[in-house]
Amino acid sequence: MEYKDPMHELLSSLEQIVFKDDVQAVTLNVKPTAFTEFDQLLANSGLKADEFARAMGISAATVREWQSRREKPSASDLRLMRLIQTSSAPGKPIA
């Protein structure tokens, strides 16, 4: 009977696990929160907070509340933000 070094067997098994060829990728579909979507839409607009508020027809204080995460933008607020973003021409200010 052939002697098998346990340390060698362990390292060999570990190597097979770590360097496995057929790696399974796991994709997580995380739905953005109202806050993260707001942050992205504001950043992509290229506007300052007060300009963004004026474009939406709301107060700058409301935008500051959203930025500080004290208040959450409503679904209709987010819909309007998306509409403003898609209807504006690239490189052209919204306000």
Provide the 3-class DSSP secondary structure of residue 23. Answer: coil
- Summarize pLDDT for 1-51 with one digit per residue, the tens: 677 788 888 888 877 777 766 556 667 777 889 999 999 999 988 889 999
pLDDT the model gives residue 6: 82
Cα–Cα distance measured from residue 51 to residue 4, given in angstroms and rounded to the nearest whole number: 72
Torsion, Cα of 75, 80, 86, 87 (10° steps): 160
Nearest-10 crossing angle of helices 34-45, 75-87? 30
Mean pLDDT of 61-84: 94
